[in-house]
């Protein structure tokens, strides 16, 4: 079976990918990044003997966005010869419908669209912007679970910290150039020390969330956190 996960809500799509990995935990799991892949590597993934004769879960990242039809055709031909494989394409942005014309009819396509208020809220995070941050936060709460908002907030500060410190984390490697550009602009509002302190506060909140020791509801704690930015 072939599954495609695409869209700008990369948190949700990565979560779905994690779920698929857990679902096929008894499969040998291998992967390849499309931008750097060559045909020989793709052939190796499909045709190399699996450890202990396990079936394979093959994860292909950024293959479709390269728009390399030869690479895609090769993958589909290999899939036809190796039906025991589960193939998952993961893309960090929404893929045009026309590109799916090349996919087998049995392909499952899942689109993960960023909730617009959430996106605006995350981009509003900066010192001196308290009123807008709180307004967008409460707009977002109408349609999103507070824990999901919290973990998106954690991810945003992790990315900002990685951008300013030139840290190497897997998430920054999956960002599109325009996403990196926006993060760089946002990061300019913070000093490195301030970002570290805010990220540490989120770490303490997360620990309390997991242990059930937070003194107040999460939404109230997030209100206070935003006031401290």
Average pLDDT of the residues in 204-210: 92
DSSP state of 144: S
The lowest-confidence range among 6-10, 132-136, 184-188 is 6-10
pLDDT at residue 121, rounded to an integer = 95
Residue 32 banded pLDDT, cuts 50, 70, 90: confident
Q: How far are the Cα atoms of 173, 175, 203, 205, 219 from residue 210, in angstroms, in the given order?
A: 28, 28, 11, 9, 15
Report the first-to-last Cα separation within the chain, whole angstroms.
46
Residue 109 to residue 90: CA distance in whole angstroms: 10
Token representation of residue 21: 């990995």
pLDDT at 156 over 80: yes
> Per DSSP, which regions of the chain are E strands?
2-6, 28-33, 56-61, 86-90, 108-111
Tell me which residue has tokens 């999103």.
Answer: 144
Token representation of residue 140: 């977002």
Strand order in the sheet with 28-33: 28-33, 56-61, 86-90, 2-6, 108-111
pLDDT at 35 over 80: no
pLDDT at residue 118, rounded to an integer = 87
Higher-confidence position of 146 and 50? 146
pLDDT at 138 over 90: yes
pLDDT at residue 69, rounded to an integer = 79
Set out the domains of the chain in order of their start, with CATH numbers.
Answer: 2-111 (3.40.50.300), 116-228 (1.20.272.10)
pLDDT at 48 over 70: yes
Residue 111 banded pLDDT, cuts 50, 70, 90: very high
Residue 89 to residue 137: CA distance in whole angstroms: 32
Residue 36 banded pLDDT, cuts 50, 70, 90: low
pLDDT at 108 over 90: yes
Average pLDDT of the residues in 113-136: 91
pTM above 0.85, yes or no: no
Average pLDDT of the residues in 81-95: 88
pLDDT at 85 over 90: no
Question: Coil, strand or helix: which one is 68?
Answer: coil
DSSP state of 112: -
Q: Is 169 left (phi over 0), alpha (psi -120 to 50) or beta?
A: beta
- Tens digits of residue pLDDT in 169-197: 878 877 778 888 999 999 999 999 999 99
Higher-confidence position of 72 and 130? 130
């Amino acid at each position: 079976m072939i599954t495609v996960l695409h869209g700008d809500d990369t948190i949700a799509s990565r979560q779905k990918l994690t779920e698929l990995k857990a679902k096929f935990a008894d499969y040998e799991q291998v992967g390849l990044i499309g931008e750097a892949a060559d045909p020989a590597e793709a052939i190796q993934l499909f045709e190399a003997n699996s450890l202990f004769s396990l079936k394979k879960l093959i994860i292909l990242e950024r293959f479709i966005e390269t728009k390399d039809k030869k690479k895609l055709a090769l993958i589909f031909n290999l899939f036809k010869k190796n039906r025991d494989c589960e193939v998952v394409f993961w893309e960090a942005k929404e893929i045009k419908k026309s590109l799916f014309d090349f996919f087998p009819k049995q392909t499952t396509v899942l689109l993960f669209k960023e909730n617009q208020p959430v996106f605006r809220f995350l981009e509003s995070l900066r010192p001196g912007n308290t009123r807008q941050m709180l307004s967008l936060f409460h707009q977002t709460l109408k349609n999103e679970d507070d824990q999901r908002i919290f973990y998106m907030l954690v991810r945003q500060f992790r990315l900002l910290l990685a951008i300013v410190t030139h840290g190497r984390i897997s998430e920054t490697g999956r960002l599109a150039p325009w996403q990196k550009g926006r993060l760089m602009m946002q990061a300019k509002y913070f000093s490195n020390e301030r970002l570290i302190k805010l990220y540490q506060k989120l770490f303490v909140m997360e620990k309390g969330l997991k242990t059930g020791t937070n003194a107040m509801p999460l939404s109230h704690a997030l209100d206070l956190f935003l006031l401290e930015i």
